[in-house]
Structure 1
Amino acid sequence: MPFSLSAAKPRLLIPLIASVQFTYILDFLLLLPLGPDVSTALQFPPAQLAWLTTAYTASSVLAGLFSIRYLDRINRKTGLLICFAALSLFTFLAGMATGLGSLLLARALTGIFGGLSVALAMALVIDATPPERRGAAIGKVMIGISLALIAGVPAALELSRAGGWQLPFYCLGALGVLICLLAAWLLPLEHEVTARQTSTTSLPMLLKQPAVRIACLIQAGNQFSSFLIIPIYSSFFVLNLSYPRAELGMLYLIGGLSALMTMQVLGRLSDYIGPLKTAALATAVVWLGLTPLLDFSLFAPMLAFVLFMSGSAGRNVSVAAACSKIPAPEQRAGFMALLNIVQDLGIVLASLISAAMLSVALEPVSPQAQALPLSGVPALALLALLAACVPLAGLAWLQRHQNQDLNRH
């Protein structure tokens, strides 16, 4: 029998794929909070931590480009198990690094399999869920992302404090192995992949489709606008708004919980009123959350942060729900790999622009300079606000294109 919603037992599929998302996102984020511990223990300059992120992202992009042609030809469950097992192994081995070189190699190898794991996992969810219910399903899967921020990062910090920087890598690698074993046991094996085995999916073939090009623009614009702000939001609160450093943990907990609830609500709502309307609503909430960075005082800082986190999460679900309806079944994994590539590129570009626009303010010219407010933040927030319009324009084009196709048939 073909792979279907009933065969996949969605009550098991959704938590398993959410667990994959949790592990992938936490693995990607792990070196951000642990950076000072790692650089001190391995005796390399903190500035070189950026090399590790670059290695991870670059290998993920290259792996995605190479694999687009092949991902849809393999059994999705088998491919996911192989890629996720490799991700878990190299995450574990990162904890055994003895210097920057060995850690760099481990992170690059992990990056190869991270994006592929998520592409195959999301293809499984799309395969198993009817189009009219995908928004709700994707919202549930993305719980893993929020949990990585709410629980994963604080847990990693506590593990590092208790047992050294290696312990979070060991624990996350072990968790990945456990998820692999559960997936091998609980996920059904596809019985019919013949149609995909002859798939001629390739990057040029995907990019020839106007809807795919627009989806790439939507995904890149969505991540670009978010990651202009995400890396500097906490610093802005502490340095510019004099928000207590000791209360940042609670701030992120409340923001993460609100994002989790927003994803569920807008995921379900997108199935009823369409992703464009829910994305527009989420974008308006993001704009309200940006007001402190634009020197407006419309809300208390905590409320503004909650609005930004909730709006960003809701927009992510809306974008994912809209894009899930684009690829044909024999192109889904390759399409998801392509979206991961443009997502990574959008994040890297946003990080570079954010660092460039704030570089003068962040330059440590004296010991007291670390306490100075960030400058250039309103310009950065305005750029983020304008960039947030790109996904909306793309979603409007997709909706019009899909309506025209329905009218033709």
Structure 2
Amino acid sequence: MEGRYDESPDSDTNGQQRYERMVLFILASVQFITIVDFMIVMPLGPQLMRTLQINPTQFGLIVSSYTFAAGVAGIVASSLADRFARRTTFLVLFAGFLLGTLCCGLAASYGVLLWARVVTGAFGGVLGGIAMAIIGDVFPEQRRGRATGTLMTGFALASVAGVPFGLVLGTNFGWQIPFIVLAVGGGPILILARVALPRLDSHIHDVQTNPLKSLVETFAHRNHLRAFALIVALMIGSFTVFPYLSAYLVSNVGMSENQLPLIYIVGGALTFVAAPIVGRLADHYGKRRIYRIVAPASALMLFVVTHLPATHVAIAVAAFGGLMVCNVGRMIPAMAIVTSSVRPERRGAFLSANSSVQHVASGIGAYLGGLIVVEAGDGKLENFGTVGWIAAAATLVTLWLVGRVEVAGDINPLATPSAASLAIAAAAEASVDAGEALVGLSGEHQIVKDVSTNVPVD
């Protein structure tokens, strides 16, 4: 079992910084791959339906199969996650995800692709929760917002680079190629994670309950339920709107399908810049304070985007970019708060369950939006404004919910990086520094106060 990395000499402090940046680089890379895998299916829809000769309902099942498989897997993982070292769990899940993604790329029929999406969702859906558990184990509470903001850059990069590039590959070489590229590209990250990540197993000795009891306790804890309620409201406030935005921008606002990549490129670029800034502000000024500033702005942007009339493309792109920034801006402090709501020895089970709740709530939000939005005879979408009102209202409700989630007692166990981890981090320091924009960290060392001793600590 590996202990804390808390040596005082400057060389050790620099080593810890390199180690933390390496952990974030690995997690953000995996986040990028999983998000591109999930998002790329939707814009490939026309090609999938034409090539596999399937109807829209069958295509919808391909999309939803990932989400529901992730939800079921999250429930199962919540009863088992804390019984194994974080690194072991992370490696198994990522390897299974890459295998499922490769099967998607090799699928030649609708049935095979459907089952491949189920496998990919079952493994990939839990990865996000384990990544947040690693963040919670490695980073102290006062730096957790910054680390969460860095992790969120995976979403921004997926939007600004991954999805457009995947569409180019799919359009020119076939829809299977993006999945094959993702699976092959994830191989080196899997190897790096095996060598560079610490075991993170200090929580295992605290696990004494059987899996079923662990599951019941996870969902019976009052503070956990408050955190789940916050996540549900956040997902309802997003997924009632986002699945239908592209269609609305084309049919109602006047954008062409060829112009749609602009919204992902601009929105992703803005998010890439904003996410680390929001993370630092959350750590410096308080996560609830920053959340209560960003959430009302998010509600306003939800209202604006869902009520956009026919307008210039630049205005539509700017509105969508503002919505993406606000959406990620509220998720960063919210996820940092949720991560801090559970004690370390229960963090893996809780965040796996939270991942399940998040996926199921996303599906409910998308289904609710589909019940309300209808297509008129002229091809325009009606009642999208109503969906915007619902999303904005759900977002405003979170202003009350976020104050109900309490920060659990956190002993802040920092795992010691292995010698191999530090060696790789030192050897790769130049490349990590060059790619610092990716992980969103500066090389400066922030001084904060330990809340239990009121003594400045690194």
Q: State the TM-score, normalized to the length of structure 2.
A: 0.81
Alpha-carbon distance between aligned partners in 2 of 1:194 and 1:304, rounded to the nearest angstrom: 47
Q: Which amino acid aligns with 1:213?
A: L
Q: Which amino acid aligns with 1:140?
A: T
Could you tell me how far 1:80 is from its partner in structure 2?
0.8
Moved more, 278-287 or 299-308: 299-308
Could you tell me how far 1:382 is from its partner in structure 2?
0.6
Q: Does the aligned pair in 2 maintain the 1:76–1:124 contact within 8 Å?
A: yes
1:219 aligned to which of 231, 240, 247: 231
2:306 aligned to which of 274, 290, 293: 293
Alpha-carbon distance between aligned partners in 2 of 1:190 and 1:303, rounded to the nearest angstrom: 42
Tell me what 1:15 maps to: 25
Residues 338-357 of structure 1: pairs in structure 2 closer than 5 A: 338-357=353-372
Q: Does 1:126 align with 2:126?
A: no
* CA pair 194-288 structure 1, distance change in 2 beyond 3 A: closer
Report the secondary structure of 1:2's partner residue. Answer: coil
Q: Does 1:56 align with 2:48?
A: no
Alpha-carbon distance between aligned partners in 1 of 2:406 and 2:69, rounded to the nearest angstrom: 34
Report the secondary structure of 1:33's partner residue. Answer: coil
Task: Give the helix-richer structure, 1 or 2.
Answer: 1
Whose relative contact order is higher, 1 or 2, with alpha carbons under 8 Å and at least 6 apart?
2
Could you tell me how far 1:390 is from its partner in structure 2?
2.5
Q: Does the aligned pair in 2 maintain the 1:8–1:128 contact within 8 Å?
A: no
Q: Does the aligned pair in 1 maintain the 2:223–2:406 contact within 8 Å?
A: no
Residues 138-287 of structure 1: pairs in structure 2 closer than 5 A: 138-190=148-200, 192-198=202-208, 202-287=214-299
Identity of aligned residues (%): 28
Tell me what 2:398 maps to: 391
Q: Does 1:34 align with 2:44?
A: yes
* CA pair 199-140 structure 1, distance change in 2 beyond 3 A: farther
Q: Which stretches in structure 1 are left out of the alignment for 5+ residues?
A: none
Alpha-carbon distance between aligned partners in 2 of 1:401 and 1:90, rounded to the nearest angstrom: 36
Q: Which amino acid aligns with 1:358?
A: V
1:112 aligned to which of 116, 122, 126: 122
Residues 85-117 of structure 1 show CA distances to partners (whole Å, capped at 9, x for unaligned) of: 110011101111121111111111111111222
Report the secondary structure of 2:198's partner residue. Answer: coil
Alpha-carbon distance between aligned partners in 1 of 2:408 and 2:169, rounded to the nearest angstrom: 50
Could you tell me how far 1:315 is from its partner in structure 2?
0.6
Q: Which amino acid aligns with 1:89?
A: L
* CA pair 382-193 structure 1, distance change in 2 beyond 3 A: closer
1:76 aligned to which of 86, 98, 108: 86
Report the secondary structure of 1:202's partner residue. Answer: helix
- How many residue pairs are counted as aligned between the two chains? 396
Q: Does 1:322 align with 2:329?
A: no
Residues 308-365 of structure 1 show CA distances to partners (whole Å, capped at 9, x for unaligned) of: 111001011011111111111111111111111111111111111111111343xxx6
Residues 47-91 of structure 1 show CA distances to partners (whole Å, capped at 9, x for unaligned) of: 311111222222211111122121111011111111101100111
Moved more, 21-30 or 87-96: 21-30
* CA pair 32-22 structure 1, distance change in 2 beyond 3 A: same
Tell me what 2:76 maps to: 66
Alpha-carbon distance between aligned partners in 2 of 1:94 and 1:302, rounded to the nearest angstrom: 32
Q: Which amino acid aligns with 1:301?
A: A
Report the secondary structure of 2:107's partner residue. Answer: coil
Moved more, 83-92 or 191-200: 191-200
Alpha-carbon distance between aligned partners in 1 of 2:46 and 2:4, rounded to the nearest angstrom: 46
Q: Does the aligned pair in 2 maintain the 1:275–1:321 contact within 8 Å?
A: yes
Report the secondary structure of 1:116's partner residue. Answer: helix
Report the secondary structure of 1:212's partner residue. Answer: helix
Q: Does the aligned pair in 1 maintain the 2:254–2:310 contact within 8 Å?
A: no
Q: Which amino acid aligns with 1:212?
A: H
Q: Does 1:374 align with 2:386?
A: no
Alpha-carbon distance between aligned partners in 2 of 1:324 and 1:72, rounded to the nearest angstrom: 15
Q: Does the aligned pair in 2 maintain the 1:136–1:271 contact within 8 Å?
A: yes
* CA pair 4-107 structure 1, distance change in 2 beyond 3 A: farther
Alpha-carbon distance between aligned partners in 2 of 1:401 and 1:195, rounded to the nearest angstrom: 19
Alpha-carbon distance between aligned partners in 1 of 2:76 and 2:232, rounded to the nearest angstrom: 20
Report the secondary structure of 1:240's partner residue. Answer: helix
Q: Does 1:334 align with 2:344?
A: no
Q: Which stretches in structure 2 are left out of the alignment for 5+ residues?
A: 7-15, 410-450, 453-458
* CA pair 276-7 structure 1, distance change in 2 beyond 3 A: closer
Q: State the TM-score, normalized to the length of structure 1.
A: 0.90
* CA pair 307-160 structure 1, distance change in 2 beyond 3 A: same
Could you tell me how far 1:187 is from its partner in structure 2?
1.4
Tell me what 2:420 maps to: none
